[in-house]
Homo-oligomer: A and B are copies of this chain.
């Protein structure tokens, strides 16, 4: 009677990927919200600024959209909030009057150096019990998938 192809949603990998990513995101965003009052978008921007910014480079919003894979609107909003909280400073860009250069303030640096270790700690908690090779292959697969999804989207997208 069951001549249907017996499709099981629970086995569908994109579905598993989605619900897993959601579960992880929920955990992380809740932690950063409760401890630092930061949203994921804001946290991502700080992560980039804290890493690259400390190497001497000030970044534009455009740089940040590339680095975070977020919409430029999302980046703009995150920067605005962070600026209002005094965690990042914008200075006029000498070489381009349209944009500003962003960098963490002292206070921003302070929070950054507190947030990032807890991010790593959460990552460790999550991957506790995974061995090195597993994690390495997970990274590789995610990268491959991203590339594949991107190229397939481009094909049908135009």
Interface residues of A in 25-57 (CB under 8 A from B): 25-28, 30-31, 34, 44, 47-48, 50-51, 54-55
Asked whether, in the complex, the Cβ of B117 is within 8 Å of the Cβ of A5, the reply is: yes
Tell me the nearest residue of chain B to A153, going by C-beta.
B27
How far does the alpha carbon of A142 sit from the alpha carbon of B139 in the complex, in Å? 12
Once A51-B4, A141-B138 are accepted as A-B contacts, the answer to whether A157 and B30 lie under 8 Å apart by CB is: yes
Q: In the complex, what residues of B have CB within 8 A of residue A25's CB?
A: 14, 18
Q: Across the interface, do B152 and A125 meet the contact criterion of CB distance under 8 Å?
A: yes
Q: Contact mask A15-31 → B, CB, 8 Å, 1/0? A: 11111111111111011
List the B side residues contacting A126 at CB < 8 Å: 13-14, 145, 148-149, 152
A95 at the interface (CB under 8 A from B): no
Instruction: Please measure, in the bound complex, the distance between the C-alpha atom of A16 and the C-alpha atom of B68, giving whole angstroms.
Output: 11
Instruction: A12 to B142: give the CA distance in the assembly, Å.
Output: 12
Complex contact A18–B21 (CB within 8 A): yes
A9 CB to nearest B CB, Å: 4
Q: Is A67 interfacial (CB-CB < 8 Å)?
A: yes
A133-158 CB contact bits vs B (8 Å, 1 = yes)? Answer: 01101110111111011101100110
Known pairs A4-B109, A5-B113, A13-B123; list 19 more (Cβ under 8 Å). A1-B54, A2-B54, A4-B112, A8-B51, A9-B47, A12-B123, A13-B135, A13-B138, A14-B123, A15-B44, A16-B142, A16-B143, A17-B20, A24-B145, A26-B153, A31-B156, A122-B152, A125-B152, A126-B148
